Amino acid sequence: METILNILREINPTAQVDETTELMEEGVLDSMSMVMFVSALCNAYDVDISLRDVVPENFATPECVRDFIAELCGEEV
């Protein structure tokens, strides 16, 4: 989880982010920063994220992102 939060803080240093922050609704991410976030996640976790996977259910909060990445990796993150 800390890696995900650190990536978010790098992308948007002024945002107050925790595990339950609504990333799009609270303005932490916009469409351009979402692309940066997905790319950073791919690099950090060595996974491939397809466009069809970039949906609100997977990216609504850092907790959702953690669960999605864990599913891709097949292990806890």
Chain segment 36-59, per-residue pLDDT in tens: 999 999 999 999 999 999 999 999
Position 16 scores a pLDDT of 95
Which CATH number covers residue 8? 1.10.1200.10
Position 61 scores a pLDDT of 98
Q: Where are the alpha helices (DSSP H) in 12-47?
A: 31-45
Position 74 scores a pLDDT of 85
50: its two tokens: 């397809």
What average pLDDT score do residues 30-35 get?
A: 95
**Domain count along the chain:** 1
pLDDT at 77 over 90: no
What average pLDDT score do residues 17-27 get?
A: 97
Range(s) of the domain holding residue 7: 2-73
Smallest CA-to-CA distance from 41 within 70, 75, 19, 21 is with 70
With 0.75 as the threshold, say if the pTM is over it.
yes
Residue 64: how many other CB atoms lie within 10 Å? 18
